Amino acid sequence: MKTAYYAVRSFWVETGLRFGSTAAVPPNATPIKHLEWWQAGINFLFENNAVLSPDTEQPIRDLYCQHPTLRLLQSLLQQDTQWTKQHFDDVLSGRRKDLDVKQYETLAELVKHAGQSCGSLSQLVLESGNIMSTDHPASHEAARLVGICHGLTNALRTSIPVISTTGKLIVPAELCVKYGVKSPRYLLSALGMGDDVCVRALQNAVEDIANEARQHLQAARDLRPDILAEPQGAKAVSVLLPALASETFLNRLQEFNHQLTDRNLRNVGRLEHAVCAGRMVVAHYRKTY
């Protein structure tokens, strides 16, 4: 499972585009070209059962011979690792939305995106241990819910650097209207931190997103008895441990009154790291998340 997990995580990082990409595309290619390259690679792996025959075209052969992530995925598929292709497709589709959408219209759309990206990743990790949805429906549903919680939390955690580099705004338009957030980009900059009325409006909108993340986390936790009743249930629970890291940030955000622009929000000390790690260790032995 560990090797398969590394393969999935490598695919996730390589397709993220935030730190460049190793896709075999021409210099200065657009981000969408990078994603198209990855989609072509995933399509070939699954449509051809990861087999490179002597008749395979040379460009396709070079594609896999030169890229370590695709080589690893190919090797594991040949060893009967049972990944669902749709999850890979959904991750890439989520990446495309990250390029196209600068602000989601509704909170429901943001939740759907989190499920499509992080939820699919969590389910791929389950499948890396041969925990398939057909025999483990509760485990996969919990993984999807934890993925949504993680996606929303991570969006809040990285909101400041993301808006500064890409212009993407985490707060959906409907929440801006609901709370009267008139200039969210201004508020998420250093210039807007002195406007108390508008800052409070943004805090209310952020609190709604945080509460949505907590609701999905609780829904995942409610499935614990069903998960443990499934074959390999204890193994599946371990995959859900990242939920505790997401909850740690949500708790910090609450302590700082949901003010994303508070610089202290991102100053995580060693003690908090140790506490979070300790919670994960205890949860692992207690089979909780």
Supply the pLDDT for residue 262.
81
Indicate if the alpha-carbon torsion angle 176, 162, 8, 289 is positive or negative. Answer: negative
Residues of the chain with confidence (pLDDT) below 50: none
CATH for the 2-286 domain, from 1.10.600.10, 3.60.70.12, 3.30.420.40, 3.10.105.10: 1.10.600.10
Q: What is the pLDDT of residue 85?
A: 95
Residue 44: count other Cβ atoms within 10 Å of its Cβ: 17
Residues 6 or more apart in contact with residue 80 via CB below 8 angstroms: none
Closest CA to 8 of 116, 121, 141, 144: 121
**Predicted local distance difference test score (pLDDT) of residue 280:** 94
The pLDDT value given to residue 155? 92
Can you point out the beta strands (E) in 130-186? Answer: none
E runs forming strands in 102-242 = none
- Amino acid at the residue 23: A
CA separation (Å) from 279 to 19, 121, 233, 274?
A: 31, 23, 20, 9
pLDDT tens digit string along 75-121?
899 888 899 999 999 999 999 998 888 899 999 999 999 999 999 99
pLDDT value, residue 186:
64
pLDDT of residue 240: 96
CB under 8 Å to 183, separation ≥6 — which residues? 192, 198
Residue extents of the structural domains in the chain: 2-286
